[in-house]
Chain A
Amino acid sequence: MAENGEEKLIAVARHIAKTLGHTDTMTDDILQIFSSFDNRFREKLTDDQPLERSLKSLHRQISRHLSAQHPIWSDSADSAAFLDSVDQLLAIIHEWNPMANDKSVSASLDKAEDLLQQAMFRLQDEFTTLMQRASESVDLTRHQNGGDNLGGYYESEEEEEEVDDDDDDDSGEIPIAHPVTDYGILIEALPAGIISDLHEIAKRMVAAGYDKECSHAYSVSRREFLEESLSRLGLQKLSMDQVQKMQWNELEDEIEKWVKAVNVALRILFPSERRLCDRVFFGFNSVSDLSFMEVSRGSTIQLLNFADAVAISSRAPERLFKVLDVYEALRDLMPKFEFMFSDQYCVLLRNEALTIWRRLGEAIRGIFMELENLIRRDPAKTPVPGGGLHPITRYVMNYIRAACRSRITLEQVFKEIIVPSASAVDYREGDDRALSSSSLAVQMAWIMELLESNLETKSKIYKDSALLAVFMMNNERYIVQKVKDSELGLLLGDDWVRKHAAKVKQYHVNYHRSSWSKVSGVLKIDNNAMSSPTGASRSLKEKLKLFNSYFEEICKTQSTWIIFDEQLKEELRISVAGALSPAYRNFIGRLQSNNDSSRHTERHIKFSVEDLEARISELFQGSSGSGGGRK
């Protein structure tokens, strides 16, 4: 009885619905209302199969959303409902697919898939709109705060970091790159709520097999943002050709900008994008990887291209320090590259970075080779007046000393040629212990050798072998001084320093032999000639005359010679005086005691011992004004 009653009830309900419902939709709606009153109705009211029923209702719900003119995601209830419907649709399709052989099932599935496609198209639009709206508001913050601020939402409470273009650390020293240290700021590229929305959409799109469309929509928007950020850092897109032709000072500026930009990119922008990718496509690693690669590829290539252009450009020695900047920047960022660009899509980019970094190492070695050539080719034309310091000595020593401030990097650069394989390259800072057999030390020692050899060639221009010795003394002394109080000394080692200090001494000896032995030789008393008083006085007189002329001449000449090092100058004067003075005193004594015609002879004594010493102390003053080499 109850059953009959139920059936009658259902029949009545159906009749009412059909009569009142002017459209199918209305009928369905009415039946829905009835169903919600009573469980019994839900299953029995319609003729439809369960699948059809569910689909019909989903179709209604989804169509309502699809026909909305405003974005579904402008209302969170709407979007949640829409996602819910999509989920149900996906579930139905998944559930009924195995039974697709049945014709009616198949027909329903067709409708379901059609509906799904429409939903997916809408989801893609919503996704794109969300991404655009969010990055537009980021744009506003950029404009509001002006300048080169990167925009974005900041996770920390800190103030926005302004990435300044002007370098506030401008010392007068040889320029070394100052690392931009404050990367504590994490940029949240989009507000958390939007990221969550995007993720929800992405989940459904991937589940429905629309991951390519989703990834594409994502990548297009983020790529634009990233490239815009990069261009705000002031980087020009320069071709290889342009970089080769650029004036050096222009290129220097560009390199500085690049170092800043690449650090901002690898430490802030890219990690931020990577995180965003991972959150939006959470759970779908390959989609995330692909999207990140699409987003970052262009910017990465642009940055690497510039480094590459620098690596193949001129090897002029003046470029060393800036090329080192680029090398060091890449070296320090390589771990970041490794970390972010390690998946299947990005690994090529990472390898490129590695190749270009090595090429920069090659460039640095090439610069040193060019330095060697410059030294070798420096002509021995005009002698330095007064035997002073040659410009090339000063240039090379100061250059090498400055270069050795980057000793650790240079060790790495020169070590690389011995261990070129990827696995063995160590990005960590090189060994702090100075090994005087390290490749760098060998290179430095070789440059010293070339310099000395060039100086020796130059010294041969001096006809006067005493002046030659002075020239070599000056330059060698300068070299030793510069080596001793710098990193260079650590590299070359104590033995080297000792050896070269000894060279200075040797030249000292040569100097004596060349100029003063003749003079002191005159003062030697020949005992044979001293046998007779007249013979003695005549010989002494002649000797004295000879001595005077020699001495006068040497003093005249050598007072214009230059010893740049004060200490060395004193040493020389003292040694000359030490050699000459006693002998002269002795000689004068002898002369005066030889009393033949002492008045007559005395007239020839031009110098007292004090006079002698006074003249000696005037040696090596250089010509007026020119102070010779600076210390």
Chain B
Amino acid sequence: MPATDFSTFGRSILSLRRDQQVHSMESGGHEGTSHELELEAFQKQVAERFNDLASADSDQLLSIPWIHKLLEVFLSCQEQFKSVVSKNKGLLNKSPADRYVMEYYERSVKALDVCNAIRDGIELIRQWQKQLEIVYYALDNQRSIGEGQIRRSMKALIDLAIGMIDEKESNSSFAHRNRSFGRNNAQKDNNSLGQFRSLSWSVSRNWSATKQLQAIGQNLVAPKNNEISATNGLATAVFTMSYVLYFVMWTLVAAIPCQDRGLQTHFHVTRQFVWAAPVLTLHDRILEESRKRERKNVCGLLREINKIEMCARHMNELTDTIHFPLSEEKEGEVKQRVQELGIVYYGLKDGLGPLERQVREVFHRIVRSRTEGLDSIG
């Protein structure tokens, strides 16, 4: 028999399926009840976590802190799911449980791509943050607000506006032209669209967030009763976790700019699941948000993006009506808008970094749990 060193080579749960001659199949008796309780607890806790998320008011919903919470929820659900699965290794040997779990892991690979796209999107928002920084730096706490500072801010705001044009409109065809006709065209466009179009996505031009979401949600149907009993309830746990994955990815795509972002995916889940209500509520609220007039063509529903647009608009309105020399009243208005902008700027500055790190963490944990499950299957 192998020495204990080998336990560190990571015998995976699924490897036991093929490679041990004897696996005990007794799961009746007292074990069954505690197993049921555990599955039930999983359902309940998922529901609790989503209820908590759904309790956010309209200002908190889709804000950076709220997205943080959403990702925390995902991580907790996944940890719990992992422990449920690892305690039920024996059951995974039976079909169709193994098929379900495999499907989950395949979905999770697609989620990895979404995480990567979201990381790009956060970087894009960070570019906007930099324009805000210029405005803030130009106008905040200056000896006086002069024409120079105003002009500087206006330029930054124009660059910001250009940068926020919806991906759909300005990315594909335009950048394509840039590439195919060489650099000469870029000359003209450099100080306008060229600047932000250079921030290329790390995914290919063909990649589509919409399609990716559709792939994640494909065949995601609640298990039938016979399937549930055949897998001793595990099918429900797998379905739940898959749904959580799907919903979280969908929300990220809704919130943060990414290539070919679309929210037309469908959510079907019956209310028999105790977590269905809060999830569907959140889904409806987010969809509603996307239908609001001012947010129709926006590149991401993140609350902070809305705030950026708003304070940029206020600033623009203000600077449009500015005449020099500034009246005290006007100067006061400017200071006020600058404060407003400052709050948005700091919110981004403090929030984007940790958010990006957390998205990365989600990525790593998905990989880890998949690797541990798939090691022996290859």
Contact = CB atoms under 8 A, between A and B. Distances in A.
Interface of A: 97, 100, 106, 109-110, 113-118, 120-121, 125, 128, 132, 135-136, 139, 209, 212-213, 216, 220, 223-224, 227, 236-241, 244, 297-298, 301-302, 305, 308, 312, 314-316, 348, 352, 355, 359, 362, 365-366, 368-370, 373, 376-377, 417-418, 439, 442-443, 446
Contact of B149 (A113, A352, A359): A113
13 contacts: A117-B147, A125-B191, A212-B133, A237-B202, A301-B119, A301-B202, A312-B371, A316-B378, A359-B367, A373-B18, A377-B18, A442-B5, A442-B6
B184 interface: yes
Contact of B5 (A106, A125, A315, A439): A439
Contacts of B182: 139
A242 B288 CA distance: 33
A312 B186 contact: no
Nearest to A138: B183
Nearest to B374: A315
A125 B192 CA distance: 12
- B interface SS class: helix
Given A106-B144, A110-B146, A312-B371, A216 B130 contact: yes
B56 interface: no
B148 A117 contact: yes
Contact of B116 (A240, A362, A417, A446): A240
In this complex, the interface size class of chain B, counting residues with CB under 8 Å from chain A, is 35 or more
A132 B183 contact: yes
A287 to B, nearest CB: 13
A236 B202 contact: no
Interface string B336-378: 0000000000000000000001001000100100110001111
A446 B2 contact: yes
A426 B357 CA distance: 26
Given A305-B116, A369-B15, A446-B6, A352 B360 contact: yes
- A interface SS class: helix
A323 to B, nearest CB: 12
B294 interface: no
A216 B9 CA distance: 48
Interface string B1-42: 011011011111001001100000000000000000000000
A316 B370 CA distance: 16
Contacts of A244: 109
Given A240-B112, A314-B378, A213 B134 contact: yes
A97 B142 CA distance: 11
B151 interface: yes
B113 A139 contact: no
B8 A417 contact: yes
Nearest to A100: B143
Contacts of B19: 373, 376-377
Given A139-B183, A370-B378, A446-B6, A106 B143 contact: yes
Q: Which has the most chain A C-beta neighbours within 10 Å: B6, B148, B198, B357? A: B148
Nearest to A303: B202
Given A315-B375, A359-B367, A241 B190 contact: no
A298 B371 contact: no
Given A114-B146, A312-B371, A239 B133 contact: no
A236 B205 CA distance: 10
Contact of A240 (B5, B109, B190, B198): B109
Contacts of A370: 375-376, 378
Given A106-B143, A315-B378, A316-B378, A241 B367 contact: no
B294 to A, nearest CB: 28
Nearest to A355: B364
